[in-house]
Protein backbone atom coordinates (compact mmCIF):
# COMPACT_ATOMS: atom_id res chain seq x y z
CA UNK A 1 0.00 0.00 0.00
CA UNK A 2 1.24 3.52 -0.85
CA UNK A 3 1.13 5.81 2.17
CA UNK A 4 0.46 9.49 1.34
CA UNK A 5 3.48 11.56 2.50
CA UNK A 6 1.20 14.31 3.81
CA UNK A 7 -0.76 11.95 6.05
CA UNK A 8 -0.39 13.27 9.64
CA UNK A 9 0.70 9.83 10.82
CA UNK A 10 2.71 8.85 7.76
CA UNK A 11 5.91 7.95 9.69
CA UNK A 12 4.08 5.61 12.01
CA UNK A 13 2.13 4.08 9.11
CA UNK A 14 5.35 3.52 7.12
CA UNK A 15 6.90 1.71 10.11
CA UNK A 16 3.80 -0.48 10.47
CA UNK A 17 3.97 -1.25 6.79
CA UNK A 18 7.64 -2.29 7.08
CA UNK A 19 6.73 -4.67 9.91
CA UNK A 20 3.80 -6.07 7.91
CA UNK A 21 5.96 -6.64 4.82
CA UNK A 22 8.72 -8.11 6.98
CA UNK A 23 6.24 -10.56 8.43
CA UNK A 24 5.00 -11.60 4.99
CA UNK A 25 8.63 -12.22 4.00
CA UNK A 26 9.20 -14.33 7.12
CA UNK A 27 11.78 -11.96 8.64
CA UNK A 28 9.50 -10.62 11.38
CA UNK A 29 7.81 -13.15 13.63
CA UNK A 30 3.99 -12.74 13.96
CA UNK A 31 4.33 -11.61 17.59
CA UNK A 32 6.77 -8.97 16.35
CA UNK A 33 3.61 -7.11 15.27
CA UNK A 34 2.39 -7.13 18.86
CA UNK A 35 5.79 -5.84 20.04
CA UNK A 36 5.54 -3.03 17.47
CA UNK A 37 2.06 -2.10 18.79
CA UNK A 38 3.34 -1.89 22.34
CA UNK A 39 6.26 0.24 21.20
CA UNK A 40 3.92 2.56 19.26
CA UNK A 41 1.80 3.11 22.37
CA UNK A 42 4.84 4.21 24.42
CA UNK A 43 6.16 6.31 21.55
CA UNK A 44 2.80 8.09 21.40
CA UNK A 45 2.95 8.80 25.13
CA UNK A 46 6.47 10.19 24.77
CA UNK A 47 5.35 12.53 21.99
CA UNK A 48 7.02 10.53 19.18
CA UNK A 49 10.28 12.43 19.69
CA UNK A 50 13.65 11.77 21.26
CA UNK A 51 13.18 13.12 24.77
CA UNK A 52 16.00 14.83 26.72
CA UNK A 53 16.73 11.82 29.03
CA UNK A 54 17.11 9.61 25.93
CA UNK A 55 19.67 12.06 24.54
CA UNK A 56 21.62 11.76 27.80
CA UNK A 57 21.47 7.96 27.58
CA UNK A 58 22.64 8.09 23.95
CA UNK A 59 25.68 10.12 24.99
CA UNK A 60 26.53 7.68 27.82
CA UNK A 61 26.02 4.71 25.46
CA UNK A 62 28.33 6.25 22.85
CA UNK A 63 31.02 6.75 25.52
CA UNK A 64 30.57 3.18 26.78
CA UNK A 65 30.92 1.68 23.30
CA UNK A 66 33.99 3.81 22.53
CA UNK A 67 35.65 2.60 25.72
CA UNK A 68 34.81 -1.06 25.15
CA UNK A 69 37.20 -3.51 23.49
CA UNK A 70 34.72 -5.57 21.49
CA UNK A 71 31.18 -4.22 21.12
CA UNK A 72 28.51 -6.15 19.17
CA UNK A 73 25.13 -5.04 17.80
CA UNK A 74 22.43 -7.66 18.28
CA UNK A 75 19.57 -7.70 15.74
CA UNK A 76 16.25 -9.51 15.44
CA UNK A 77 13.39 -9.53 12.94
CA UNK A 78 11.83 -6.18 13.86
CA UNK A 79 15.08 -4.22 14.01
CA UNK A 80 16.23 -5.63 10.66
CA UNK A 81 13.21 -4.28 8.81
CA UNK A 82 12.82 -1.07 10.84
CA UNK A 83 16.40 0.19 10.77
CA UNK A 84 18.75 -2.26 9.01
CA UNK A 85 20.48 0.50 7.04
CA UNK A 86 21.01 2.63 10.17
CA UNK A 87 22.39 -0.40 12.05
CA UNK A 88 24.96 -0.94 9.30
CA UNK A 89 26.06 2.73 9.60
CA UNK A 90 26.41 2.28 13.36
CA UNK A 91 28.48 -0.88 12.95
CA UNK A 92 30.79 1.01 10.59
CA UNK A 93 31.19 3.94 13.01
CA UNK A 94 32.15 1.47 15.74
CA UNK A 95 33.95 -1.03 13.47
CA UNK A 96 31.99 -3.76 15.21
CA UNK A 97 30.07 -6.85 14.10
CA UNK A 98 26.31 -7.30 13.82
CA UNK A 99 24.89 -10.57 15.16
CA UNK A 100 21.44 -12.04 14.60
CA UNK A 101 19.83 -13.34 17.79
CA UNK A 102 16.20 -14.42 17.71
CA UNK A 103 13.64 -15.28 20.35
CA UNK A 104 11.66 -17.32 17.79
CA UNK A 105 14.85 -18.77 16.40
CA UNK A 106 14.79 -20.76 13.16
CA UNK A 107 17.49 -21.34 10.61
CA UNK A 108 15.14 -20.01 7.91
CA UNK A 109 14.65 -16.66 9.68
CA UNK A 110 18.36 -16.35 10.47
CA UNK A 111 19.19 -16.89 6.79
CA UNK A 112 16.57 -14.37 5.67
CA UNK A 113 17.98 -11.75 8.05
CA UNK A 114 21.52 -12.57 6.91
CA UNK A 115 20.35 -12.01 3.33
CA UNK A 116 18.83 -8.60 4.20
CA UNK A 117 22.15 -7.44 5.66
CA UNK A 118 24.05 -8.87 2.71
CA UNK A 119 21.92 -6.63 0.48
CA UNK A 120 23.22 -3.74 2.63
CA UNK A 121 26.79 -4.90 2.03
CA UNK A 122 27.49 -6.61 5.37
CA UNK A 123 28.10 -10.20 6.43
CA UNK A 124 26.57 -10.72 9.85
CA UNK A 125 27.33 -13.24 12.61
CA UNK A 126 24.97 -15.50 14.54
CA UNK A 127 23.59 -17.88 11.91
CA UNK A 128 23.82 -21.38 13.42
CA UNK A 129 25.46 -19.94 16.55
CA UNK A 130 26.68 -22.72 18.86
CA UNK A 131 27.90 -21.11 22.09
CA UNK A 132 25.39 -21.08 24.93
CA UNK A 133 25.07 -18.24 27.42
CA UNK A 134 24.72 -19.51 30.97
CA UNK A 135 21.42 -19.15 32.79
CA UNK A 136 19.04 -18.53 29.88
CA UNK A 137 16.33 -21.00 28.84
CA UNK A 138 15.19 -19.43 25.53
CA UNK A 139 16.84 -19.93 22.16
CA UNK A 140 18.33 -16.49 22.62
CA UNK A 141 20.99 -18.20 24.73
CA UNK A 142 22.77 -19.31 21.54
CA UNK A 143 25.48 -16.83 20.57
CA UNK A 144 28.35 -16.67 18.09
CA UNK A 145 31.86 -17.53 19.29
CA UNK A 146 33.18 -14.69 17.09
CA UNK A 147 30.58 -12.20 18.29
CA UNK A 148 28.50 -11.83 21.46
CA UNK A 149 30.37 -14.71 23.12
CA UNK A 150 33.63 -12.77 23.20
CA UNK A 151 32.11 -9.28 23.40
CA UNK A 152 32.36 -6.95 26.37
CA UNK A 153 29.45 -4.69 25.38
CA UNK A 154 26.22 -5.47 23.51
CA UNK A 155 23.53 -3.26 21.99
CA UNK A 156 20.10 -4.87 22.25
CA UNK A 157 16.77 -3.63 20.90
CA UNK A 158 13.21 -5.01 21.23
CA UNK A 159 14.48 -7.35 23.82
CA UNK A 160 13.20 -9.50 26.65
CA UNK A 161 14.55 -8.87 30.13
CA UNK A 162 15.78 -12.45 30.51
CA UNK A 163 18.54 -12.09 27.98
CA UNK A 164 19.62 -8.70 29.26
CA UNK A 165 20.03 -10.27 32.70
CA UNK A 166 21.87 -13.27 31.25
CA UNK A 167 24.22 -11.06 29.23
CA UNK A 168 25.04 -9.10 32.37
CA UNK A 169 25.59 -12.28 34.38
CA UNK A 170 27.98 -13.37 31.63
CA UNK A 171 30.03 -10.24 32.20
CA UNK A 172 28.80 -8.04 29.34
CA UNK A 173 27.80 -4.39 29.54
CA UNK A 174 24.33 -3.96 28.01
CA UNK A 175 22.91 -0.94 26.23
CA UNK A 176 19.20 -1.31 25.45
CA UNK A 177 16.96 0.68 23.14
CA UNK A 178 13.45 0.21 24.52
CA UNK A 179 10.48 2.55 24.33
CA UNK A 180 9.06 1.14 27.55
CA UNK A 181 10.83 2.69 30.56
CA UNK A 182 9.06 0.19 32.83
CA UNK A 183 10.27 -2.96 31.06
CA UNK A 184 12.61 -5.44 32.70
CA UNK A 185 15.08 -4.89 29.89
CA UNK A 186 15.14 -1.15 30.58
CA UNK A 187 15.63 -1.76 34.29
CA UNK A 188 18.30 -4.43 33.90
CA UNK A 189 20.48 -2.83 31.21
CA UNK A 190 23.50 -0.71 32.18
CA UNK A 191 22.21 2.04 29.91
CA UNK A 192 18.65 2.20 28.54
CA UNK A 193 17.78 4.51 25.71
CA UNK A 194 14.03 5.12 25.92
CA UNK A 195 13.42 5.94 22.29
CA UNK A 196 12.25 4.42 19.02
CA UNK A 197 15.06 2.44 17.40
CA UNK A 198 14.13 4.20 14.14
CA UNK A 199 15.43 7.44 15.68
CA UNK A 200 17.91 6.28 18.33
CA UNK A 201 20.28 4.22 16.16
CA UNK A 202 21.17 7.17 13.88
CA UNK A 203 21.52 9.51 16.85
CA UNK A 204 23.86 7.03 18.51
CA UNK A 205 26.00 6.86 15.35
CA UNK A 206 26.17 10.66 15.26
CA UNK A 207 27.17 10.83 18.93
CA UNK A 208 29.87 8.18 18.45
CA UNK A 209 31.36 10.17 15.58
CA UNK A 210 31.34 13.28 17.80
CA UNK A 211 32.79 11.60 20.93
CA UNK A 212 35.53 9.80 18.96
CA UNK A 213 37.49 13.05 19.22
CA UNK A 214 37.38 12.97 23.04
CA UNK A 215 40.01 11.42 25.30
CA UNK A 216 39.21 8.43 27.54
CA UNK A 217 38.97 10.37 30.85
CA UNK A 218 36.31 12.59 29.28
CA UNK A 219 34.38 9.49 28.09
CA UNK A 220 34.63 7.98 31.59
CA UNK A 221 33.31 11.24 33.04
CA UNK A 222 30.22 11.06 30.77
CA UNK A 223 29.50 7.50 31.92
CA UNK A 224 30.03 8.38 35.58
CA UNK A 225 27.51 11.19 35.32
CA UNK A 226 24.84 8.82 34.01
CA UNK A 227 22.43 6.99 36.30
CA UNK A 228 20.09 4.52 34.60
CA UNK A 229 17.42 4.43 37.32
CA UNK A 230 17.29 8.20 37.52
CA UNK A 231 17.07 8.41 33.73
CA UNK A 232 14.18 5.91 33.58
CA UNK A 233 12.31 7.85 36.28
CA UNK A 234 12.72 11.02 34.23
CA UNK A 235 11.18 9.23 31.24
CA UNK A 236 8.22 7.99 33.32
CA UNK A 237 7.71 11.54 34.64
CA UNK A 238 7.68 12.91 31.11
CA UNK A 239 4.95 10.42 30.17
CA UNK A 240 2.96 11.41 33.30
CA UNK A 241 3.30 15.12 32.50
CA UNK A 242 2.31 14.49 28.89
CA UNK A 243 -0.86 12.74 30.01
O1 LIG B 1 13.66 -12.13 18.18
P2 LIG B 1 12.46 -12.25 17.26
O3 LIG B 1 12.64 -11.52 15.98
O4 LIG B 1 12.11 -13.72 17.09
O5 LIG B 1 11.20 -11.55 17.99
C6 LIG B 1 11.30 -11.00 19.17
C7 LIG B 1 10.10 -10.15 19.63
C8 LIG B 1 10.14 -8.75 19.05
C9 LIG B 1 8.79 -10.77 19.28
C10 LIG B 1 10.33 -10.18 21.15
O11 LIG B 1 11.56 -9.61 21.45
C12 LIG B 1 9.23 -9.57 21.93
O13 LIG B 1 8.21 -10.16 22.17
O14 LIG B 1 9.47 -8.36 22.36
P15 LIG B 1 8.60 -7.71 23.52
O16 LIG B 1 8.70 -8.53 24.75
O17 LIG B 1 7.27 -7.33 23.01
O18 LIG B 1 9.43 -6.43 23.84
C19 LIG B 1 9.64 -5.48 22.95
C20 LIG B 1 9.99 -4.19 23.72
O21 LIG B 1 10.48 -3.30 22.77
C22 LIG B 1 8.77 -3.55 24.40
O23 LIG B 1 9.13 -2.98 25.63
C24 LIG B 1 8.37 -2.46 23.41
O25 LIG B 1 7.81 -1.33 24.05
C26 LIG B 1 9.70 -2.10 22.79
N27 LIG B 1 9.60 -1.64 21.40
C28 LIG B 1 8.71 -2.00 20.45
N29 LIG B 1 8.96 -1.38 19.30
C30 LIG B 1 10.04 -0.60 19.50
C31 LIG B 1 10.46 -0.77 20.85
N32 LIG B 1 11.52 -0.13 21.37
C33 LIG B 1 12.21 0.69 20.54
N34 LIG B 1 11.87 0.89 19.25
C35 LIG B 1 10.80 0.27 18.69
N36 LIG B 1 10.48 0.49 17.41
The closest of 161, 157, 133, 159 to 145, measured between CA atoms, is 133
Q: Report pLDDT for 242.
A: 82
- Ligand 1 atom closest to the Cα of residue 31 is 9
38 lines ligand 1 (CB under 6 A): yes
**Protein residue with least CA distance to atom 7, ligand 1:** 32
Question: How many C-beta atoms surround the C-beta of residue 120 within 10 A?
Answer: 15
Q: Report pLDDT for 1.
A: 66
- In angstroms, the CA 77 to CA 98 distance is 13
Q: Report pLDDT for 2.
A: 72
Q: Report pLDDT for 9.
A: 76
Q: Which residues pair with 229 in a beta bridge?
A: none
Strands 131-132 and 142-143: antiparallel
- In angstroms, the CA 47 to CA 203 distance is 17
Q: Report pLDDT for 170.
A: 95
Q: Report pLDDT for 5.
A: 73
Q: Report pLDDT for 12.
A: 85
Ramachandran quadrant class, 122 (left: phi over 0; alpha: psi -120 to 50; beta: rest): beta
158 lines ligand 1 (CB under 6 A): yes
Average pLDDT of adjacent 10-residue blocks, the chain of 243 residues: 72 92 98 96 95 98 98 98 98 98 96 98 97 92 97 95 94 98 97 98 98 98 98 97 85
**Protein residue with least CA distance to atom 11, ligand 1:** 159
164 lines ligand 1 (CB under 6 A): no
23 lines ligand 1 (CB under 6 A): no
What is this structure's pTM?
Answer: 0.96
46 lines ligand 1 (CB under 6 A): no
Q: Report pLDDT for 200.
A: 98
Ramachandran quadrant class, 192 (left: phi over 0; alpha: psi -120 to 50; beta: rest): beta
Amino acid sequence: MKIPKKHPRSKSLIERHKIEEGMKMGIVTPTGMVAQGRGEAFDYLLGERTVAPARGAISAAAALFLLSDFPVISVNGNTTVLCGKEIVALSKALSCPIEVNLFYRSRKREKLIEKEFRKLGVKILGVDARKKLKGLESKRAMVDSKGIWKSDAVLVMLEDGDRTEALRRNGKKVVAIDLNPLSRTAKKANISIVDNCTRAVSLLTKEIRKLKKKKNPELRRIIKGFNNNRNLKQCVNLIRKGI
